[in-house]
Amino acid sequence: MDLPTLNRAGDRPAARWWTKVPPAAGSAVMATGIVSVGLNLVGRETSSQVLLALAAAGWLLLALAFALTLLRDRDRWAANAATPPALTAVAATAVVGTRFSLAGWQSTAAVLLAIAAAAWPPLLISVLRHWKHHLPGVAFLVCVATEGLAVLAGTLALAGSGDWLAPAALAAFALGLVLYVAALLRFDVRQVLTGAGDQWISAGALAICALAGSKLTAWPEWTGAGHTVLRDATLVLLTLDLAGYLVLLAAEIRRPRLRYNIRRWATVFPLGMSAVATLSTGSAAHLPWLNGLGHPLLWIAAGAWLITALALVRDLARARRTAPSGGA
């Protein structure tokens, strides 16, 4: 029987747990964080805080894995950074930061914005350099990560943490829209019927664009024609998101994919983001009926989060039972 390979420090494989954390694991933090945001918006504060704690713990774990990989295995880090899932590091940081801002922890949210903004350029450039055609839904993470910065910057601006953050959010919002179009041109539309979960990011990216637009629409310093353009653009983006939501849902019904896959967290995130974008747009655009629509969308997202979390626990338990003795 082959003996497990030891690293240079003589560690057992279990000591190198960070090598087992895939970049796509960031989508679980994104999903948990955005459902927490949604629960906060509808006044379910206890449930929201529980999910915030889980999202923050997951973020810390992923940040540690990210740092250890960078310090101890540069080749692995470079390989991971060349793939779109690496951008979940930026998006997850922005989502958790947004929830902290809503909780009143503006300094913590500002630090997370700085971390996300620092990580965004090298990761985005690395991903774009390795882009190909006929990509799965993770291609839209170039948009999601960029718009995540816009959402967090806009949230902090509305919380009084700096007026300069509003134009910065507007710039990220505009760039995110450009990146969405670029990703759409490379997206393999067959993934709508065959994808393992990340195909939903095609709609989730539109949802986070709408959420960023709603933050900009709510900025009190912008009035007149500029405000009208932002409001109308946000409503168009939300409409496109909800249309995509229905198309993807119909595809899931036509061809069910019920087995757990880590990419299913990339389904939960768009579900939660669509609910939050609907609620936020309803408030910013003064359209109460959107608030009525946002509530059932949020409960769908919360249910999907619970089902996916239970599937993850079951999958981990099964893997632990079947792992060879002495394995990680």
What would the DSSP string read from start to end of 99-157?
A: HHHHTT-HHHHHHHHHHHHHHHHHHHHHHHHT--SSB-GGGGHHHHHHHHHHHHHHHHH
**The pLDDT value given to residue 2:** 38
Q: 253: pLDDT confidence band, cut at 50, 70 and 90?
A: very high
Question: Does 210 have pLDDT greater than 90?
Answer: yes
Listing DSSP states for 147-201 in one string gives HHHHHHHHHHHHTTS-TTHHHHHHHHHHHHHHHHHHHHHHB-TTHHHH-SSGGGH
pLDDT for the residue 196? 87
For range 235-258, the mean pLDDT: 94
pLDDT band at 321 (very low <50, low <70, confident <90, very high): confident
Q: Which of 11-20, 33-42, 201-210, 228-237 has the weakest average pLDDT?
A: 11-20
Rounded Cα distance, 291 and 287, in Å: 7
- Please give the structure tokens belonging to residue 59: 């973020």
At 219-228, the pLDDT tens digits run 998 888 888 9
Higher pLDDT, 200 or 324: 200
Q: How far apart are CA 237 and CA 276, in angstroms?
A: 13
d(CA 245, CA 247): 6
Q: Return the pLDDT at 17.
A: 62
Q: Is the pLDDT of residue 236 over 80?
A: yes
pLDDT of residue 16: 73
Bridge partners (DSSP) listed for residue 116: none
* pLDDT computed for residue 323 by the predictor: 63
Position 64 pLDDT exceeds 50: yes
Residue 148, pLDDT score: 97
Residue 79 pLDDT > 90: no
Largest CA-CA distance found in the chain, in angstroms, rounded: 74
Question: Which residues have C-beta within 8 Å of that of residue 266, sequence separation ≥ 6?
Answer: 24, 27, 31, 137, 138, 197, 198, 200, 201, 204
pLDDT (mean) for 53-67:
91
Instruction: Give the closest residue to 205 by CA, choosing from 261, 137, 157.
Output: 137
Nearest one of 72, 207, 86 to 138, comparing CA atoms: 86
Q: Which residue has the tokens 């989508």?
A: 27
**Distance in Å from the first CA to the final CA of the chain:** 17
Question: Which whole number is the average pLDDT over 265-277?
Answer: 95
Q: What is the CB neighbour count within 10 angstroms for residue 64?
A: 13
For residue range 2-33, list pLDDT tens digits in order: 333 444 444 455 557 666 777 778 899 999 99
| DSSP secondary structure letter of residue 19 | G
Cα 173 to Cα 96, 117, 235, 286: the distances in Å are: 18, 14, 14, 21
70 confidence band (pLDDT: 50, 70, 90): confident
pLDDT value, residue 47: 95
**pLDDT bucket at 263, cuts 50 / 70 / 90:** confident
pLDDT(80) > 70: yes
pLDDT of 125: 95
Is the confidence at residue 100, as pLDDT, over 90? yes
